[in-house]
């Protein structure tokens, strides 16, 4: 099985540490990832997840999907210390999110759309405004095979959507207001306010 071989090779090479992040343009980021259904044994799957967490922390980031390290499986890891200014945290609904693993995740919107800048570890150096539902009802399995249904709101909902989209072959820029696209330096210089209203007015893109 090709996927099992890829996982075994990656784990053998990067066991205990981070793996390189796949960058935009690599076809694995545009494939619909395979449902996790016994392709890989439990011990190997846990080792893969450990590498994904190490990769996320090393970047650093708030989530990594398996395709971002070259593995076309429906797995992602999430976690956010939310170390941002209180004004930003309040405006964006950003709160600490304990690290956890999502396997075969799905989500459905259950709230209005809201727009904020976001970026991606597989497209470094840039940020753009993305409209996303403010809250979602999410379903996923954990590493023990237990199915969860959970409602996420604010920034945790954005992280869940962003990482789950990777598993469908989608990158945040597909949903972004392209007129908002900025280098990290220009974002910091011009648009690093808690909300993107100023950027929308100056760059002429719509907000919900």
The whole-number pLDDT of residue 122 equals 98
For the chain, give every domain's residue range.
2-203
163 in catalytic set: yes
Does residue 1 register a pLDDT over 80? no
Task: Evaluate whether 117 touches 191 at the Cβ level (below 8 Å).
Answer: yes
Rounded Cα distance between 29 and 122, Å, is: 9
Rounded Cα distance between 110 and 12, Å, is: 41
Q: Provide the b/e sequence for 94-107 (b: ≥16 CB within 10 Å).
A: beebeeebbbbbeb
Q: What is the pLDDT of residues 118-152, one digit of tens each?
A: 999 999 999 999 999 999 999 999 999 999 999 99
Instruction: For domain 2-203, say whether CATH 3.90.45.10 is its number.
Output: yes
Identified catalytic residue from 34, 118, 134, 163: 163
State the pTM of this model. Answer: 0.97
Q: What is the pLDDT of residues 4-21, one digit of tens each?
A: 999 999 999 999 899 999
Burial class (CB in 10 A: 0-12, 13-18, 19+), 149: exposed
């Amino acid at each position: 099985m090709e996927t099992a071989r890829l996982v075994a090779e990656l784990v053998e090479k990067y066991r205990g540490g981070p793996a390189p992040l796949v960058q935009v343009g690599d076809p694995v980021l545009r494939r619909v990832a395979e449902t996790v259904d016994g392709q890989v044994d439990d011990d190997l799957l846990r080792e893969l997840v450990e590498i994904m967490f190490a990769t996320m922390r090393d970047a650093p980031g708030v989530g990594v999907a398996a395709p971002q390290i070259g593995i076309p499986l429906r797995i992602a890891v999430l976690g956010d210390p939310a170390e941002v200014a209180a004004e930003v945290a309040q405006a964006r609904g950003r709160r600490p999110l304990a690290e956890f693993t999502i396997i075969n995740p799905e989500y459905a919107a259950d709230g209005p759309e809201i727009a904020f800048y976001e970026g991606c570890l597989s497209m470094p150096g840039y940020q753009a405004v993305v409209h996303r539902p403010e809250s979602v009802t999410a379903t996923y399995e954990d590493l023990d095979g237990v199915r969860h249904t959970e409602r996420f709101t604010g920034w945790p909902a954005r992280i869940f959507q962003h990482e789950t989209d990777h598993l469908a072959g989608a990158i945040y820029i597909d949903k972004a207001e392209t007129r908002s696209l900025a280098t990290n330096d220009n974002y910091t210089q011009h648009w690093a306010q808690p909300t993107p209203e100023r950027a929308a007015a100056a760059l002429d893109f719509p907000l919900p």
